[in-house]
Amino acid sequence: MRLGAILFTLGYGGCMIALLMLLPWLASLLDPTYAHAGNFAIGLMLTAFVSGALLLSGYSSRRHRANGIELLLIMVLFWTLLPAIAAIPFIGATQIDGLVAAYFEAVSALTTSGGSVLAVPEVEATPILLWRAVLSWLGGLWTLVFAVAVLAPFGIGGITLIGSPLLQHEEDAPLSSRLGRPLRLILPVYLMFTALGIIGLLAFGSPFVEAMCLALSAISTSGMSVDSKSLGDLLNIGGQTVMAILCFIGSISVPILMVLTLGRDARSSFQVTEMRVFVSLIIAYIAITFMAVPNAGGLGVVFQSISLHSTAGFNFVAGAELGNWPVVWVMLPVLIGGMALSTSGGVKVMRAIILAKDLGSELGKLSYPSSVHPLSLEGRHLQDRDFNAAWAYTAIFILFVTLGVLLLGLFGTSLADAWPIVLGALTNSLAIAGHLDLPLGFGQMSDGLQITLALLMIAGRIELLILMVLFTSSFWRYMR
């Protein structure tokens, strides 16, 4: 194992955190009370020092060929170790009382899960809210880069990279190129949509800090708001529309997003099977909600459907009406989630399509046992390994949900409250759990419960199967 390459990559990620930490630090200097200037200054210095040391220690190994196991390990370490340094400024928040709560907040932001210890965010100072939104945005960027560089090439859970030669890579590419090239391609597009979102919210009357925080959270599908009120009460119709569009963009697959941005055959992007199924699910959910849920009406239901399917978890329904919706109905779309290779969580629409095709094929064989049912997706013939990978991910997902519910039960959480929290953590849509009228808020949870949820959020973000690799004998042989 080339430890230097791993250290260099972690240092690069830490430098990104340090660079973005300048924004809330400058905001704290503009505050006449300088209430958070100290904790952001300390966090900035520690992050810069640690990141610089990691960069220097692994600089000579940066151009080594990217090894598969190393890439998987780097992905795990990014989501587990780097939140520890990102959590330092949160210790100064009014509603955060220790390192564990600060780490939970940082993990929730970087994994774009959105569950927050800050039950009343509007009482917090601007630097804290801005830092939380910036971390969400950075976590969304990391998610896209790792999806292209790690998840798709390895076919994790049946997810593959198709339809965009721009994002393809060479198998013998060095580590710096394997991660750096997708970053250079994705970052301008990600920045562009973020800037357009901020401008849109400003145009519809949102204050600058509010517009910036909401746009950063929406494009990354983290669902972290700046106010305890629903977006239906906080924003006008124009602002809500901008937020819903940003959530939808965040849940679109990166290859499709690149095609739309470059303007090359943009119409064909909406003919992609995964896109058509995703849009159909959103529309069907809207129609059924209008008919089946009492007092559901207006554009709030349309925006809420987009928010749930993108796993952003914003509350667009006015007042506390969302808490009266059936919990199963609220959690169903976040279970499926958005498109593959996007910032959204969940099982992903592509896997759902693969599983549906396989089930349909097996049912057809019951009627005609000797028939042959060749299956394809976007012109690519689906093979047994695609179906096996999708079913393996589903089995592991069910296993983690079960274990998560049992763990929360050990901490005294009832079954009725545990399963939506666990499902929200594993689908990186924990923000929605804060709107379900659950008796226990994230800030009231014990340290053990917060750590458990943080680990579940990390497990969901790294697609579960990668976590299982750490428990294999081949991985530990390679580590030795």
Alpha-carbon span 342 to 60, nearest angstrom: 32
480 pLDDT more than 60: no
What pTM was computed for the model?
0.91
Q: Is the torsion defined by CA of 307, 313, 317, 322 positive or negative?
A: positive
In this prediction, residue 149 has a pLDDT band, given cuts at 50, 70 and 90, of confident
The lowest-confidence range among 65-69, 79-83, 250-254, 268-272 is 268-272
5-25 pLDDT tens trace = 788 889 999 999 999 999 999
Instruction: Provide mean pLDDT across the span 225-251.
Output: 92
Alpha-carbon span 344 to 342, nearest angstrom: 5
323 pLDDT more than 90: no
90-106 pLDDT tens trace = 988 888 888 999 999 99
Q: Is the torsion defined by CA of 197, 199, 200, 204 positive or negative?
A: positive
Instruction: Provide mean pLDDT across the span 46-64.
Output: 84
DSSP 65-88: BPPHHHHHHHHHHHHHTHHHHHTG
161-181 pLDDT tens trace = 554 555 555 666 677 777 888
| Structure-block tokens of residue 361 | 């094929």
Judge contact between 8 and 54, C-beta under 8 A: yes
DSSP 1-67: --HHHHHHHHHHHHHHHHHHHHHHHHHHHHSTT-TTHHHHHHHHHHHHHHHHHHHHHHGGGTTSBPP
State how far Cα 99 lies from the chain centre: 23
Residue type, 397: F
- Write phi, then psi, for 429 (nearest 5 degrees): -130, 35
112 pLDDT more than 70: yes
Write down the pLDDT at residue 100: 93
Instruction: Provide mean pLDDT across the span 120-139.
Output: 93
408-420 pLDDT tens trace = 999 888 888 899 9
Mean pLDDT estimate for the chain: 84
Instruction: Provide mean pLDDT across the span 358-382.
Output: 68
Write down the pLDDT at residue 163: 47
Q: What percent of the chain has pLDDT over 90?
A: 42
Write down the pLDDT at residue 369: 64
Alpha-carbon span 156 to 422, nearest angstrom: 22
Write down the pLDDT at residue 407: 93
Instruction: Provide mean pLDDT across the span 29-45.
Output: 88
Write down the pLDDT at residue 212: 95
Write down the pLDDT at residue 259: 64
Element holding 376 (H helix, E strand):
strand 376-377
Write down the pLDDT at residue 423: 93
Write down the pLDDT at residue 246: 94
Write down the pLDDT at residue 263: 56
Which tops the pLDDT comparison, 270 or 70? 70
Instruction: Provide mean pLDDT across the span 354-362.
Output: 80
275 pLDDT more than 70: yes
The lowest-confidence range among 59-73, 195-209, 242-256 is 59-73
Which tops the pLDDT comparison, 33 or 121? 121
The lowest-confidence range among 104-113, 186-195, 258-267, 383-392 is 258-267
Write down the pLDDT at residue 240: 94
From the list 348, 428, 342, 443, the residue with the least C-alpha distance to 114 is 428
